[in-house]
């Protein structure tokens, strides 16, 4: 059986190379965010006279893509590298677009694209939220072309200077799309195709985790709100914030310099107990997508009790990260994009791993060897003029207005992304 299948209306098979006259630009869409975003993007691109193929790697991808000009890839990792190289050459691609540059299949695609000189556009959730998606060449966050850099001294924003536009309110749809995607993927993806999954999932366990996520969100909401109000009112500038990331995220797997969520929890608590001022508190914020999967709350509370500092340690499972960052004495993160919230609010920041904002003028860059003891004693925040200029630079160079999940947000993001492609602004 062929490891790929080209599909058009009526399930007609096509051989390489392409089957129509050379249009404006040729684009391949690989895996996108859960839901119909890439399907809408493909339609919008075709309406703008782009020639577009969509590659489907599992049943979840197929669920949210039309059969027309879709390739169902059925091989394993080794097959994928060889096939994709042949596909890039034969189709003479002008662009490759994907979501999540650190996924296994996408890391291979990046290598092939670089070898052939084909621009690769990597999409991610917006660095600044709500209201933006991230769109950059080659990668995001630690692998962004902007990583570790600052805007030039003569940089002046071209567009509007508003950092936080409207919220497209896509969370509920994202949860629905994720449930549908991973259910179909788990039930209907077989054989060698399972090797290409970027996340190993048990349907029964995932169902339990997401119900637990919802339960924790409902039951802890008012209690967490009271905690946050107490911190802001009585401990403003006297607590340190540690936003915890999704353990399976690519930034943790490939750019954390040996650090994990558990290691961060244990080492920061140990140092805090030994070295932090007695009037300070340590606050851990659980990631919303990890709330049902993680047992970090138990780990944190157990270690705090063992060290005798239970009365100085808080775990927040719901609530505003931005509000917590605004009033914190400092933030510690491995490489979460929440670090940009600290920069926005002028909160001292320690970054342990590789991240887009890892620059000594913006943050305390630990390069994998953080000195927590010293951080509790004081750090710095960049001047407001540099912070504002940096965030506007990130917004202009890496962000596009829109959303991956809500109907209005998808339309906005697709329009803006296609406009950039038409103007060759990548």
Closest to 51 in 3D by CA, of 35, 33, 28: 28
What is the distance between the alpha carbons of residues 62 and 2, in angstroms, rounded to a whole number? 17
CB 71 within 8 A of CB 58: no
The residues, ordered by sequence, that sit 6+ positions from 233 with a Cβ below 8 Å of its Cβ are none
Q: Are strands 120-125 and 95-99 parallel, antiparallel or unpaired?
A: parallel
pLDDT in tens, 137-172: 999 999 999 999 999 999 988 866 566 668 899 988
The alpha carbon of 244 is separated from its chain's Cα centroid by a whole number of angstroms, namely 13
Q: What does the pLDDT average to over 306-329?
A: 96
CA dihedral for 341, 258, 282, 280, sign (positive or negative): negative
pLDDT in tens, 237-263: 999 999 999 988 889 999 999 999 999
* pLDDT of amino acid 100: 94
424: three-class secondary structure by DSSP: coil
Asked which of 17-26, 164-173, 402-411, 413-422 is least confident by mean pLDDT, the reply is 17-26
pLDDT in tens, 89-144: 999 999 999 999 999 999 999 999 999 999 999 999 999 988 999 999 999 999 99
Tokens of 44: 């919008």
- Residue 287, pLDDT > 70, answer yes
Residue environment code for 380-418, b if the CB has 16+ CB neighbours within 10 A, otherwise e = ebbeeebbbbbbbbbbbbbbbbbbbbbeebbebbbebbb
Cβ-based burial of 68 (10 A; exposed 0-12, middle 13-18, buried ≥19)? middle
- Residue 417, pLDDT > 80, answer yes
CB 159 within 8 A of CB 398: no
CB 300 within 8 A of CB 315: yes
| Position 229 confidence tier, pLDDT thresholds 50, 70, 90 | very high
* pLDDT of amino acid 80: 95
What is the distance between the alpha carbons of residues 285 and 303, in angstroms, rounded to a whole number? 16
| Position 10 confidence tier, pLDDT thresholds 50, 70, 90 | very low
Residue with tokens 């490939």: 254
pLDDT in tens, 34-47: 999 999 999 999 99
- Residue 57, pLDDT > 80, answer yes
* pLDDT of amino acid 175: 84
The residues, ordered by sequence, that sit 6+ positions from 62 with a Cβ below 8 Å of its Cβ are 56, 70, 72
* pLDDT of amino acid 13: 32
Tokens of 403: 């959303």
Q: What does the pLDDT average to over 313-322?
A: 94
Edge-first strand listing for the sheet containing 313-316: 313-316, 281-285, 239-243, 330-333, 349-351, 364-365
What is the four-CA torsion angle of 105, 111, 116, 121, rounded to 10 degrees? 70
Tokens of 159: 């567009």
pLDDT in tens, 329-384: 999 999 999 999 999 999 999 999 999 999 999 999 999 999 999 999 988 999 99
Q: What does the pLDDT average to over 265-291?
A: 95
């Amino acid at each position: 059986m062929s490891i790929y299948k080209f599909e058009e209306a009526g399930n007609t098979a096509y051989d390489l190379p392409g089957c129509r006259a050379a249009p404006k630009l040729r684009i391949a869409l690989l895996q996108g965010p859960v839901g119909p975003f890439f399907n809408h993007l493909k339609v919008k691109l075709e309406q703008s006279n782009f020639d577009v193929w969509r590659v489907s790697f599992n049943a979840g991808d197929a669920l949210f893509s039309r059969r027309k000009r879709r390739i169902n890839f059925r091989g394993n990792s080794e097959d994928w590298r060889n096939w994709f190289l042949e596909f890039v050459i034969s189709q003479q691609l002008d662009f490759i677009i994907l979501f999540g540059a650190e996924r296994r299949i996408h890391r291979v695609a990046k290598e092939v694209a670089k070898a052939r000189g084909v621009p690769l556009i990597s999409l991610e959730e917006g660095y600044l939220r709500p209201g933006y998606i991230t769109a950059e060449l080659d990668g995001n966050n630690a692998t962004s072309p902007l990583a570790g850099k600052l805007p030039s001294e003569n940089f002046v924003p071209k567009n509007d200077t508003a950092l936080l536009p409207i919220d497209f309110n896509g969370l509920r749809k994202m949860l629905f799309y994720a449930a549908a995607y991973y259910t179909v993927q788990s039930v209907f993806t077989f054989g060698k195709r399972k090797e290409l999954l970027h996340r190993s999932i048990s349907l029964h366990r995932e169902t339990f985790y997401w119900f637990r996520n919802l339960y924790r969100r409902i039951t802890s909401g008012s209690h967490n709100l009271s905690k946050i109000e107490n911190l802001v009112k009585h401990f403003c500038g006297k607590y340190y914030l540690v936003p915890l990331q999704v353990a399976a995220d690519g930034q943790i797997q490939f750019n954390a310099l040996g650090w994990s969520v558990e290691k961060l929890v244990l080492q920061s608590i140990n140092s805090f107990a030994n070295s932090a001022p007695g009037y300070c508190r340590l606050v851990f914020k659980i990631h919303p997508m990890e709330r049902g999967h993680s047992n970090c709350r138990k780990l944190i509370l157990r270690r705090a009790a063992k060290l005798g500092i239970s009365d100085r340690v808080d775990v927040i499972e719901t609530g505003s990260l931005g509000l917590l960052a605004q009033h914190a004495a400092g933030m510690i993160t491995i490489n979460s994009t929440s670090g940009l919230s600290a920069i926005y609010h002028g909160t001292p920041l320690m970054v342990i791993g590789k991240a887009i904002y890892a620059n000594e003028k913006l943050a305390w860059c630990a390069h994998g060897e953080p000195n927590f003891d010293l951080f509790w004693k004081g750090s710095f925040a960049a001047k407001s003029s540099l912070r504002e200029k940096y965030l506007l630079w990130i917004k202009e160079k890496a962000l596009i207005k829109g959303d991956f999940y809500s109907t209005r947000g998808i339309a906005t993001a697709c329009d803006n992304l296609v406009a950039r492609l038409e103007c060759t602004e990548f």
